[in-house]
Structure 1
Amino acid sequence: MKRIESLQNSLIKNILKLQEKSRERKKQGLFVVEGKREIELARKGSYKIASLLFVNSMIQDEYLDQFDSSELIEITQEIYQKIAYRESTEGVIALVEIKDHQLSNLEFSNNNPLILVAESIEKPGNIGALLRTADAANLDAVIIANPKADLYNPNVVRSSVGCVFTNQIAIGSSEEVINFLQEKGIAIYSATLQNSNEYTEEDYKGATALVVGTEATGLTQVWRDQATQNINIPMEGEIDSMNVSVAAAILLFEAKRQRKN
């Protein structure tokens, strides 16, 4: 088993790069996961652990027994405090291999999948919240169209509380996603104020994609034009939009409610 005691170690420096720079994550095909729950969810989601760094005094041997010895690297508490992203520490950090998120990799276990499409979401915290909502609704897939933030940004992993690993996720341009949905016979319901019906008026029992955009500008025109139907959530206050994850939750759980009846 390896042991690292120096902050100047090349692996430690590389972990800091991976945490800070999207281009390094993409170049190396690796990202950083911190915490027992998140690491366990990554393993359950069939992500491959490249290395597991741990502080011996903070981790029980029984936890380490589930990993191959070649994956384990002991580090000092000083090093852990340097590379730990969260204040509440558990003494364990993993380097994990990035998955391929092509649309062609999506697999559905039934003929009427329920899918969330999120277009051009910029804030990692909003992406994380959307993934938590998708997990809560047990969706068949989440598709990110025209991505503006790295899926493996530490803030996405953290704010999703590991749901980045529990969802089936695909990424593509809006045009690619629309073509994919139309080829699969999946109805597109775009959340927008323009030319739309109230969301409760539509039937989501068949194969359905619910599409949400940014709070600032909403969905691009292509989603409005190609939708099976545009839908809206009636707003009764002074503003005309709400947090994207809240809007997604309202739409998704209406679809879930209909499918139970």
Structure 2
Amino acid sequence: MEELKSAKNVRVKEWKKLLTKKGRDQSGKYILEGAHLIEEALKSDDIIEIMVQSNYTAFELERLRKFPVTLISAEISQSISATETPQGIFAVCKKRTAGVDPAIHRKLLLLDGVQDPGNIGTMIRTADAAGIDAVIFGEGTGDLYNPKVIRSAQGSHFHLQMETGNLMEWIKKLHAANISVYGTALENAVPFTNVPASDSFALIMGNEGAGVAPVLLQQTDKNLYIPLYGKSESLNVAISAGILLYHLRKPI
């Protein structure tokens, strides 16, 4: 099995580019790190190649042999890792093509300008747990393939349909497909408990500071808020998304 030792190798430089949004956008690929995430990736068709630190023994290499596998040194592992303590196993994966269809994907989460990678990843993971079909990344929202987003989502990005798009256009598409669209706001809004659970809906969550853009809130069916019973001034956007998604979806 081939082994690379120098972080100056041209292949290593190509892998490092995948830690940047520009590199991911230009190549249509991204880098995945860690045994758990790669376990999830193995269930998909997304893996292009795998890189394993030469002293890595916690993973069964036999299961990886259907992919090109490269042994790498600790120096390379450190240079292509987005964490302080690399786990020693990486994969290059292809980015998924757009495939959200309102005729099929009837429960959706729309993100408007959400920027914190931890919040984005947590919302993807929560949407997955709540049985949501798709997540749409609107303008100003962070990159799905940001390493911090991927880590926070814990593999859930493999389980959902996701794509970027213009949320105004998506609201029109959803309404044409008879899917109710709910915004989140503090003013001109109703308590979320006023809306019944449904088999089809779309929920818009907004920027951590500014919330959902007013122009989008004007196009929704209803705008919702979560009552605060204690002294806290607000809820984290990812926590709010979890409360609302579980309320809105009809139990199986």
State the TM-score, normalizing by the size of structure 1: 0.88
Distance in 2 between the 1:66 and 1:34 partners?
15
Q: Against the structure 1 CA distance between its residues 247 and 205, is the aligned structure 2 distance closer, same or farther, given a 3 Å change threshold? A: same
Distance in 2 between the 1:119 and 1:171 partners?
11
Q: How does 1:87-166 map to 2 (within 5 A)?
A: 87-101=84-98, 105-107=99-101, 113-166=106-159
Give the equivalent residue in structure 2 for 1:217.
210
* Partner SS state of residue 193, structure 1: coil
Give the equivalent residue in structure 1 for 2:51.
53
Distance in 2 between the 1:171 and 1:38 partners?
22
Q: How far does residue 115 in structure 1 lie from its aligned partner after superposition?
A: 1.6
Q: How far does residue 65 in structure 1 lie from its aligned partner after superposition?
A: 3.2
Unaligned runs of 5+ in 1: none
Distance in 1 between the 2:244 and 2:209 partners?
19
Q: How does 1:36-51 map to 2 (within 5 A)?
A: 36-47=35-46, 49-51=47-49
**8 Å contact from structure 2 (residues 203, 245) kept in 1:** yes
Q: How far does residue 172 in structure 1 lie from its aligned partner after superposition?
A: 0.5
**8 Å contact from structure 2 (residues 37, 154) kept in 1:** yes
Q: How far does residue 107 in structure 1 lie from its aligned partner after superposition?
A: 4.3
**8 Å contact from structure 1 (residues 17, 24) kept in 2:** yes
Q: How does 1:156-235 map to 2 (within 5 A)?
A: 156-235=149-228
**8 Å contact from structure 2 (residues 136, 164) kept in 1:** yes
Q: How far does residue 150 in structure 1 lie from its aligned partner after superposition?
A: 1.4
Q: Against the structure 1 CA distance between its residues 169 and 226, is the aligned structure 2 distance closer, same or farther, given a 3 Å change threshold? A: same
**8 Å contact from structure 1 (residues 191, 230) kept in 2:** yes
**8 Å contact from structure 1 (residues 108, 140) kept in 2:** no
* Partner SS state of residue 143, structure 2: coil
Distance in 2 between the 1:93 and 1:72 partners?
10
Deviation sequence 1:26-55 (CA, Å, 0-9, x none): 0011111001211122232432x2221112
- Give the fraction of aligned pairs with identical amino acids, expressed as a percent: 31
Deviation sequence 1:139-188 (CA, Å, 0-9, x none): 11112221432111111111112222222212201212112211211101
**1:93 is aligned with what amino acid?**
F
Q: How far does residue 87 in structure 1 lie from its aligned partner after superposition?
A: 4.3
* Partner SS state of residue 260, structure 1: coil
Mean CA deviation greater in 28-37 or 89-98: 89-98
**2:70 is aligned with what amino acid?**
I
**8 Å contact from structure 2 (residues 4, 71) kept in 1:** yes
Distance in 2 between the 1:127 and 1:244 partners?
9
Asked if 1:85 corresponds to 2:78, the answer is no
Distance in 2 between the 1:166 and 1:255 partners?
20
Q: How far does residue 239 in structure 1 lie from its aligned partner after superposition?
A: 4.9
State the TM-score, normalizing by the size of structure 2: 0.90
Unaligned runs of 5+ in 2: none
Distance in 2 between the 1:78 and 1:226 partners?
52
Distance in 2 between the 1:152 and 1:12 partners?
19
**8 Å contact from structure 2 (residues 6, 75) kept in 1:** no
Distance in 2 between the 1:110 and 1:78 partners?
46
Give the alignment partner of residue 251 of structure 2, picking from 234, 241, 260.
260
